[in-house]
């Protein structure tokens, strides 16, 4: 242990260190709140001027993060800023920035690279830099290390580099930042020790691994495991439907086996920032090693095809009532990517809505967690959530249950709808007006 390392470890353990969090979104904000609650001085960095202003005023745009918690953090000394030169004040810098795919389904590392380049001139001896963004094995070593060392610092001696993948499950009351075990990998042994010192105060259980690459692959395995199993159950749903079998009944029966089976449930596709994207990080990197990840790519194909399948079931249901999709009026329930959250990133519900719209139907949505759909590059239309009433439901030719928020009154919806396309298994009846998709 050298002097820079010893001083950093001591400051982190004594809660005298200043924690810098780069990216104040779904990952960065909960982390900020946790460190602030522990008594650390926290500086949050973001390029969104409005978000920074709102956070400094005690307001969060994220539904499950209360304004009261943000206000309490500000009272404890938390500051949000767009001034990245303040990175030099921080003893720890934690990167929580997006890692999307480009139009060729290849990793878009621009947010990680640009953020690192923004703080690069202000890095100094005795800091620990931790990347939390999901990425391919080798990112920390290949992209961050050369940039961190560009001005003469040496990773493992004067500055310490860590990869510790974020694990968040928004909307799940059973887990919070503190209680979710955290994987930590360092570029060197001293880096790993710095990472452990950074996170051990904030997280109940740490899982140290041998390298940043091992930590990066751990995160991908977690999400690929989920994506592959959802792909499997989505394919099973299509097979079961063709055979006239209720896949949800089958899953409920199968999960009574006390060993060797984990229940996964089908839906209209995959959503969120992780599950639809992360498998392609590994398939892209595997090609560098001459490998073709066929199993992973096949599950991706199945999952990406589900919105089209849902629309086909909607068309079948309307046909049975002597109607075509074109000219019909359709309501999509829920456009968040999963129940009880306000996050629309990669939401299959939005794609379902868009496909219905492009088929010539008049389409609206209702979502108690998302009041406005502002449009995006891929979906250049704007909509507002409509209230669910007896009159409004009866005005639609069909209702598509795309995201089954608990705030929906499903019995009321069933009683007042002409046709329901259920993609989430919310209804277990075999009523003539229900189509299971």
Domain boundary among 301, 335, 356: 301
Question: Which residue, 249, 277, 301, sits at the end of a domain?
Answer: 301
Structure tokens at 173: 């009351």
SS3 state at 182: strand
Could you tell me the CATH number of the domain that includes residue 242? Answer: 1.10.1040.10
Give the pLDDT confidence score for residue 431 in this predicted structure: 81
Is 74 found in the same domain as 168?
yes
296 and 316 in a common domain: no
Please indicate, yes or no, whether residues 354 and 409 belong to a single structural domain of this protein.
yes
Residue 81, burial from CB neighbour count under 10 angstroms (0-12, 13-18, 19+): middle
Q: Are residues 40 and 66 in the same domain?
A: yes
Q: Is residue 360 part of a domain?
A: yes
Structure tokens at 274: 């992780």
Task: Establish if 200 belongs to a structural domain.
Answer: yes
Instruction: Report if residue 215 sits inside a domain.
Output: no
We report the CATH number of the domain holding residue 356 as: 3.40.50.720
Decide if 214 is inside a domain.
no
pLDDT along the chain (437 residues), means of 10: 92 98 96 97 97 96 94 96 98 96 86 97 98 96 98 97 91 87 98 98 97 97 94 96 95 97 94 80 92 91 95 96 96 95 92 96 97 90 96 97 97 97 91 87
Packing angle, helices 28-37 and 67-75, rounded to 10: 50
Domain end, chosen from 301, 324, 359, is at 301
Tell me: do 297 and 336 sit in the same domain.
Answer: no
Pair 92, 19: CB distance under 8 Å: yes
Do both 225 and 315 map to the same domain? no
Domain count, the chain: 3
Q: Say whether both 297 and 339 belong to one domain.
A: no
Residues 297, 205 within the same domain: no
Among candidate residues 275, 276, 255, the one with its CA nearest the CA of residue 264 = 255
- Inside any domain, residue 281: yes
- pLDDT for 1 equals 66
Q: Which helix H or strand E contains 95, and what residues bound it?
A: strand 92-95
Same domain, 21 and 165: yes
Does residue 49 lie in a domain region?
yes
User: Where in the sequence is the domain holding 310, given as residue range(s)?
Assistant: 305-436
Could you tell me if residue 235 is inside a domain? Answer: yes
**Count of beta carbons in the 10 Å neighbourhood of residue 66:** 14
Q: Is residue 333 part of a domain?
A: yes
Residues 48 and 193 grouped into a single domain: yes
Is 179 found in the same domain as 105?
yes
- For residue 383, which phi and psi values (nearest 5 degrees)? -140, 160
| Residue 72: predicted pLDDT | 96
Quick check: pTM over 0.85?
A: yes
- Are 57 and 41 within one domain? yes
Residues marked active site are found at 274
């Amino acid at each position: 242990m050298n002097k820079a390392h010893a001083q950093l470890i001591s400051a982190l353990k004594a809660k005298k260190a200043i924690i810098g969090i780069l990216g104040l979104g779904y990952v960065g904000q909960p982390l900020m709140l946790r460190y602030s609650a522990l008594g650390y001085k926290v500086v949050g960095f973001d390029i969104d001027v409005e978000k920074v202003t709102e956070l400094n005023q005690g307001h969060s745009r994220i539904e499950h993060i209360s304004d009261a918690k943000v206000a309490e953090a500000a009272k404890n000394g938390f500051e949000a800023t767009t001034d990245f030169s303040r990175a030099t004040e921080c003893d720890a810098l934690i990167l929580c920035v997006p890692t999307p795919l480009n139009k060729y389904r290849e990793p878009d590392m621009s947010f990680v690279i640009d953020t690192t380049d923004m703080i690069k001139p202000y890095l100094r001896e005795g800091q620990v830099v931790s990347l939390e963004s999901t990425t391919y094995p080798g990112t920390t070593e290949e992209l961050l290390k050369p940039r961190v060392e560009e001005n003469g610092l040496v990773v493992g001696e004067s500055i310490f580099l860590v990869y510790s993948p974020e694990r968040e499950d928004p909307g799940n009351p059973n887990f919070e930042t503190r209680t979710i075990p955290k994987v930590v990998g360092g570029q060197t042994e001293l880096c790993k020790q710095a990472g452990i010192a950074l996170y051990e105060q904030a997280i109940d259980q740490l899982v140290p691994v041998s390298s940043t690459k091992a930590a990066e692959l751990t995160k991908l395995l977690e999400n690929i495991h989920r994506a592959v199993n959802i792909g499997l159950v989505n394919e099973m749903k299509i097979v079961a439907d063709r055979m006239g079998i209720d896949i949800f009944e089958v899953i409920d029966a199968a999960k009574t086996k006390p060993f060797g089976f984990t229940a996964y449930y089908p839906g209209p596709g995959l959503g969120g920032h992780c599950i639809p994207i992360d498998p392609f990080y590994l398939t892209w990197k595997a090609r560098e090693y001459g490998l073709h990840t066929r199993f992973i790519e096949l599950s991706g194909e199945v999952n990406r095809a589900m919105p089209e399948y849902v629309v086909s079931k909607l068309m079948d249901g309307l046909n049975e009532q002597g109607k075509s999709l074109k000219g019909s009026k359709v309501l999509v329930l829920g456009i968040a990517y999963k129940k009880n959250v306000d996050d629309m990133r990669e939401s299959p519900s939005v794609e379902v809505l868009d496909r219905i719209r492009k088929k010539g139907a008049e389409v609206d949505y209702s979502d108690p967690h998302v009041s406005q759909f502002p449009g995006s590059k891929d979906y250049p239309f704007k909509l507002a959530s409509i209230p669910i009433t007896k009159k409004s439901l009866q005005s639609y030719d069909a209702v598509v249950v795309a995201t089954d928020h608990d705030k929906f009154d499903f019995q009321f919806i069933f009683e007042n709808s002409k046709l329901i396309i259920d993609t989430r298994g919310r209804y277990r009846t075999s009523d003539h007006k229900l189509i299971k998709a």
